[in-house]
Amino acid sequence: MPEKLFDAVEARREEVTALTRELIRFPTVNPPGEAYTPCAEFIGDYLKRHGFGVEYIRGEGAPGDTDRYPRTNVIARFDGRVPGPTVHFNSHIDVVEAGDGWTVDPFDGVVKDGRVYGRGACDMKGGLASSIIAALAFMQVYPDFPGAIEISGTVDEESGGFGGVAHLARLGYFSPPKVDHVIIPEPLNKERICLGHRGVWWAEIETKGEIAHGSMPFLGDCAVRHMGAVLQAFEDELFPALDAKRTVMPVVPEGARRSTMNINSIHGGQTDDFRPGLPSPNVPDRCRLTIDRRFLLEEKIGDVKREVVSILDRLKRDRPKFDYEIRDLMEVQPTMTERDAPVVRAVAKGIMALFEREPDYVISPGTYDQKHVARLGHLYDCIAYGPGILDLAHRPDEWVGIDDMVDAAKVMAMGLNVLLRGGAH
């Protein structure tokens, strides 16, 4: 049993709590990308004090990157005494908007009843703090370790990760031989190892019409009615077909072990900018629909797209005046790391040592930055493992348990010991 390693983490309980609170106090809301630079610099300064070399990389040219809202990423590295593999802990620093319904200040890092509350506490500043504490405890107990440890704070994961991990992966920061193993401390529960995620296709469908006076709609062509036909066809044909598809992937929750599609938004006709007045009487000539299609390892992206396009093409043939355009917004293949991969086995040993049970192996219903590590970095020894309960993410009064952060840090420290030292005592 790695008592020394676990004791070293336990001794940093107050430190992991304080670090999480400080990270929450940076309101790194995305969009638009507030406070990225000061948060990244805080992480960099924190790790510099512990001997890490620090580099800041801006995601220039990425969506949303401007001089006002620079996409600032931080990567810190500590090289061991002799060469060896590199273990990289990657956490995103951006959070979603706070929203309404909070009983505490969402950016104060309130500590209450053994929990730290705040936007990003669970998703995923508590995980970032845990990974830092895991690394520091491991370095304290085994100062002569071989290899290297990297810790990154990256941006824009909540909006696809293009200014963060995707940008860095294109530059080679997530590719062998620079990095060998990646752990992403997303909140999937401290006794679970997340092997990957379902695929995603985001697209925008636009139906076309012809503007006319609202008192004489027969002189125009209503794009909203055309979109209604699209939605009806989806209800009658597509949704039942998706619901019948099942996967061998261990996706959680159970309802996500099938194909799904969400209607993210619909916009047709005039905007609300007439308020507090009244709208003008027009037949809408444009209607836009955004879809969020999540697909399975057993499905091919071409087939996923054809299911939608075939419905649209049939409507174009059968429905008078129906015309449409469809635009891809994002596509990501499903990914699933093998259960016998080195990083999976290492973290599993930590879970078994601490909890005396086998971990649960799961797949996330939604994507996270593992997609870019695999797709662009061509590095497949990657998992998500971290403290927190995913159901709390993006909700009011989001929190992370202090015990959970400490336990997750112990598991991650044990994982470092296995990957860098072979699990020696």
Residues that are catalytic: 94, 157
Kindly state the tokens that stand for 370. 């593992």
What HEC string does 113-126 produce?
Answer: CCEEECCCHHHHHH
Do 36 and 93 form a contact (C-beta atoms < 8 A)? Answer: yes
CA–CA separation, 130 and 406 (whole Å):
7
Exposed/middle/buried for residue 60 (C-beta within 10 Å: 0-12, 13-18, 19+): exposed
How many residues make up the chain in this entry? Answer: 425
CA–CA separation, 380 and 253 (whole Å):
24
CA–CA separation, 365 and 354 (whole Å):
27
Q: Which amino acid is at 112?
A: K
Task: Give strand pairing partners of 345.
Answer: none
| 202 half-sphere exposure, CB direction, 13 A CA radius | 10
Q: What does the longest C-alpha to C-alpha distance in the chain come to? A: 82
- Would you list the DSSP string of 381-415? -EEE--SS-GGGTTSTT-EEEHHHHHHHHHHHHHH
The DSSP 8-state label assigned to residue 30 in this structure reads: T
Residue whose C-alpha is closest to residue 362's, from 266, 257, 265, 246: 257
**For residue 88, what are the contacts with CB-CB under 8 A and spacing of at least 6?**
149, 150, 151, 152, 174, 179, 181, 182, 183
Instruction: Tell me how far CA of residue 322 lies from CA of 227, 228, 237, 317, 421, in angstroms.
Output: 9, 11, 18, 8, 64
Instruction: Tell me how far CA of residue 262 lies from CA of 4, 203, 235, 293, in angstroms.
Output: 48, 11, 12, 6
Kindly state the tokens that stand for 262. 């969400």
DSSP-derived 3-state class of residue 318: helix
CA angle 118, 46, 419 (to 5 degrees): 95
